[in-house]
Amino acid sequence: MIDYTIPMKLIQLLSDEKVCSQSHLTQQMQIGRLELEKHIRTLKGWQIRVINVKNYGYRLESSIHFLNEGKMNAELPGGRVIVLPAVGSTNQYLLDSIAILKSGDVCTAEYQQAGRGKHGSQWFSPFGSNLYLSMYWFLEKDLQEATMYLGVFISHIIANILQEQGVSDIKVKWPNDIYLRDRKLAGILVEKKGNNRNQSEIIIGAGVNLSMKGLSSNTLIQKNWIDLQETGVTLDRNDLLALIITSMRKALMQFEQNESITLLQYLRPLKKKFNPCFKIVHT
């Protein structure tokens, strides 16, 4: 795995939005100026707005509040939470680690280099701005509904959380997108591992746009997007992440323990709330 220790330390040194001189940064990180410039380029590649103050040093355009792995694991029961500085894809990270995972384990990252959406599309994932997470779940039954209804189910759960936090005009669009003011706010990607008819290993990925401040329009993969910042709603990333993880674990555990209840039955009361015109049918 790539070592991101130095780029992360650089972000921490710059995160108070004060100007740091080149000499201060190189001294604190014990590197030369050329290596410092290399790591500055890394930060810019992560879509972090680094301001070069002429003849002096650098500062960040806005401060970054990191995800708190220690707090998550101390306060949230039901599985591990892994916080990575950067990763190709949180879904792929769990798929690659599936042999050692337990139900409820979560991977989240500050930055995704190759975040995935439906149909292989790319999910734009700037550093420290939004939420990118994936959860693993093991079921002792074949979940034939996984590729379709599970994505809709989780979308409704997250939409419900956002509405409870003061976000209005939320809608769920088939099969796995959350829209706000008719623009995409969040997306869900469900991937199923293996073909065992008596078991299901599921990876559920979610991305939520919180703040795209300072990003130029030509860098955005998803054109018809919106973030919460545009609506005037500000949510703490750690608090929202904790709510999503807790709600997903609770819902999946209830579904797992009740053999007689299907995802469709769980979904019906939720879908009336967010898209009453949407019809759920058996196929």
Question: How does the average pLDDT of the chain come out, rounded?
Answer: 83
| Contact between 250 and 259 (Cβ < 8 Å) | no
| pLDDT tens string 199-241 | 788 999 999 999 876 554 445 555 688 989 888 888 999 999 9
Q: How confident is the model at residue 255 (pLDDT cuts 50, 70, 90)?
A: confident
Chain position carrying tokens 């890394």: 42
Domain parsing of the chain, residue ranges:
5-60, 69-274
Paired tokens of 210: 């919180």
CATH of 69-274, one of 3.30.930.10, 2.40.420.20, 3.40.50.620, 3.90.650.10: 3.30.930.10
Q: How confident is the model at residue 63 (pLDDT cuts 50, 70, 90)?
A: confident
pLDDT at residue 98 tops 90: yes
pLDDT at residue 99 tops 70: yes
| pLDDT tens string 114-130 | 655 554 555 566 888 89
pTM of the model as a whole: 0.85
CATH topology for the 5-60 domain: Arc Repressor Mutant, subunit A (1.10.10)
Of the CA atoms within 13 Å of residue 267, those in its CB half-sphere come to 24
Of the CA atoms within 13 Å of residue 101, those in its CB half-sphere come to 24
Q: Is the torsion defined by CA of 230, 130, 111, 65 positive or negative? A: positive
